[in-house]
Homo-oligomer: A and B are copies of this chain.
Amino acid sequence: MDLSILAPVGAVVALLFAFFLSRRVMKADEGTDLMKKIAGAVRKGANAYLKRQYTGVAIFFAVMFVILLILAIAGFLTPFVPVAFLTGGFFSALSGFIGMKIATYANGRTANSASKSLNAGLRIAFSAGGVMGFVVVGLGLLDISIWYFFLKFWYSTVDVMQNEAAQVQAITSAMLTFGMGASSMALFARVGGGIFTKAADVGADLVGKVEAGIPEDDPRNPAVIADNVGDNVGDVAGMGADLYESYVGSIISTAALAVAAGLGFKGVVIPMSMAAIGILASIIGTFFVRTKENASQKNLLGSLRLGTWISAALIAVAAFPLIYFGLGAEKIGFYFAILSGLLAGILIGVVTEYYTSDSYKPTKKLAGTSSTGPATVIIGGLSLGMLSTVLPVVIVGASVLVSYFLSGGSDSYNNGLYGVGLSAVGMLATLGITLATDAYGPVADNAGGIAEMAHMGEEVRKRTDALDSLGNTTAATGKGFAIGSAALTALALIASYIAEIQVLKPDFNFNLTITNPPVLIGLFIGGVLPFLFAALTMDAVGRCAQKIVVEVRRQFREIKGLMTGEADPDYASCVDICTRSAQREMIAPAIVAVAAPIIVGLILGVNGVAGMLAGATVSGFILAVMMANSGGAWDNAKKYIESGEYGGKGSDNHKAAVVGDTVGDPFKDTSGPSINILIKLLSMVSIVFASVVLSFSLIK
């Protein structure tokens, strides 16, 4: 049975559904003129940022394209690679662009709908998130499908390969490289967006809340629009590009692992079909997301969860016949690999929620540390984050172990690795709805901002607050999901890297034992890269926030009547500062991520690169989970105090908690998520430059 048609069908259905959702969003009323004006300002800022970002990224892609072209001409790469690199980047950018566009249209509309009912507000915000989710999976699968069919045609008609195995090898090898385009684009979107959003947020808070004593989202704060723009460019577009990359990466790396596992075209088609099944299941799941008026936060969260769980259950059911008929009854172990990934994704979400939601003990305890000042809040949050890394590691570890052995890894190593790849695909199969649930958060957050700025009244603000507060939880679980899937994808990519080397140089003498010094040193260097990356991105946020502070202070000082509400602040200047800074600050991390595998490769050779990839995946996974959870818990501990515990808003406890929240901002929204990209991009770059490293490395 040829299942390959499933992928393009799934892709088109996803895009159509995204179109349907976007129509629903656009049909909603945007509200009063003031609301339109504010939403328009946010939209304008976001567009300006994206335009400048794409200009910068275009330069990077042009340079890389030329380098890849030269390497292709020199015979190190197939000619498809430079083009595949471009399409990977293009589709990733496009999905970010569309998702963010709709998000900026949905902000005001969500606020306005919330003035009618909670359910109406939820509907618009969730639909906007859904556009992001389904555009990501739709475009991702579309890109994969196009290349698959094109390459299959090419290698069976134009450049005919002798047998199926060789064909599959040539196809998957070329497809792998377009992942590097997606990864590079994701890096810029995540890092740039992350710096933008947190610099604006921190800058706005430091002067507005702390110095001037005006509330959050107050329209008198000149950085408030930049803050809202940041939510869109960072939390929506950045998150989308990140998961686009994981999604594509997991599918193509698993496809590439099918070669060594001897599964041929069938093995390539399975992950693509799984993705298609996931899309259909996710669409069905979205219809279960609705709520009653006056729903508690628990009900709201329950309704979002219900959608995800129904999707997961459908996938669990549908994956069985897929494997049974697609690969045969004797390969049914792969089904359990998929299940283990699916389950791991859900469990990581549960653990993340436990550590970051103020319904549970850890965050409540963290809120309590505010009684002895900011220092104990920081210590408590850091140790909470560190502690929270243990269970995700166990979950990912168990998932790898289960999928490897149930896929027959003890008999065939390559079957086991293919199983690990499938577990990553299984985890990401729910991406359509998971991302919808996740991208919903910043839309609701912004709706709250607009409600505040447009003075829409107590009741509306209460509703948007309910939506927003829930968004914090879904954002945290979404981050857990993003990093969990990044880790599994990175592991599949490492296996693909080694498989790629075996293809390029079948007699290469691997020594991947951990006591081989190049591997060991690679582990160390890989281990330190996430720390370097986190340091660079945190510093970037600090520098950029500093500029915002200076600018906001200047406006407070120089614009007469600003504090009394008689004059408008100059919002555009803050947006512009963030845009330019984020642009400039992206450069150093990008260079690290692209140069590290090449430099390490040229010195330590292939074994060293493999060590580096493993080290970066391990330490990156742990550090990213820690930073995301510390940040999430600080944020919610502050919100918990604001809800009236430990003295409430304005108390010394609250001030201490605000310090934690401010530290947590770059943790959870800049550095932590950026690490996801890093660990995948390192593998992608290693794969693309494998033949160069093979030829020129100092240690062979």
Q: Is the CB of A542 within 8 A of B400?
A: no
Q: Is the CB of B532 within 8 A of A378?
A: no
Q: How far is the CA of A115 from the CA of B430 in the complex (A)?
A: 73
Report B-chain residues with C-beta under 8 Å of the C-beta of A397: 521, 524-525
Q: Is the CB of B401 within 8 A of A521?
A: yes
Q: Is the CB of B514 within 8 A of A619?
A: no
A351 within 8 A of B: no
A368 CB, min distance to chain B CBs, angstroms: 10
Report B-chain residues with C-beta under 8 Å of the C-beta of A663: 375, 378-379, 382
CB-nearest residue of chain B to A600: B397
A577 within 8 A of B: no
A345 within 8 A of B: no
Q: How far is the CA of A498 from the CA of B516 in the complex (A)?
A: 12
A636 CB, min distance to chain B CBs, angstroms: 17
Q: Is the CB of B380 within 8 A of A542?
A: yes
A621 within 8 A of B: yes
Q: How far is the CA of A405 from the CA of B517 in the complex (A)?
A: 9
A528 CB, min distance to chain B CBs, angstroms: 4
Q: Is the CB of B535 within 8 A of A387?
A: yes
A678 CB, min distance to chain B CBs, angstroms: 13
A514 CB, min distance to chain B CBs, angstroms: 4
Q: How far is the CA of A662 from the CA of B379 in the complex (A)?
A: 9
CB-nearest residue of chain B to A516: B413
A358 CB, min distance to chain B CBs, angstroms: 19
Query: Which chain A residues (497-550) contact chain B, with CB distance < 8 Å?
Result: 498, 510, 512-515, 517-521, 523-525, 527-528, 531-532, 534-536, 538-539, 541-542, 545-546, 549
Q: How far is the CA of A580 from the CA of B176 in the complex (A)?
A: 58
A78 CB, min distance to chain B CBs, angstroms: 25
A533 CB, min distance to chain B CBs, angstroms: 9
Q: How far is the CA of A397 from the CA of B599 in the complex (A)?
A: 14
A340 CB, min distance to chain B CBs, angstroms: 12
Interface stretch among A24-32, A466-474, A609-617? Answer: A609-617
A618 within 8 A of B: yes
Q: Is the CB of A386 within 8 A of B542?
A: no
Q: Is the CB of B659 within 8 A of A534?
A: no
Q: Is the CB of B373 within 8 A of A659?
A: yes
A626 within 8 A of B: yes
A61 within 8 A of B: no
Q: Is the CB of B514 within 8 A of A610?
A: yes
Query: Which chain A residues (397-414) contact chain B, with CB distance < 8 Å?
Result: 397, 400-401, 404-405, 409
Q: Is the CB of B524 within 8 A of A383?
A: no
Interface stretch among A36-44, A186-194, A271-279, A388-396? Answer: A388-396
Give me the interface of A with B, judged by CB distance under 8 Å: 202, 206, 210, 369, 372-376, 378-380, 382-384, 386-387, 389-390, 393-394, 396-397, 400-401, 404-405, 409, 416-417, 420, 491, 494-495, 498, 510, 512-515, 517-521, 523-525, 527-528, 531-532, 534-536, 538-539, 541-542, 545-546, 549, 610-611, 614-615, 618-619, 621-622, 626, 658-659, 662-663, 666
Extra contacts besides A393-B528, A494-B515 (10): CB < 8 Å: A376-B542, A378-B378, A379-B541, A384-B535, A386-B535, A386-B538, A389-B532, A513-B513, A515-B614, A520-B614
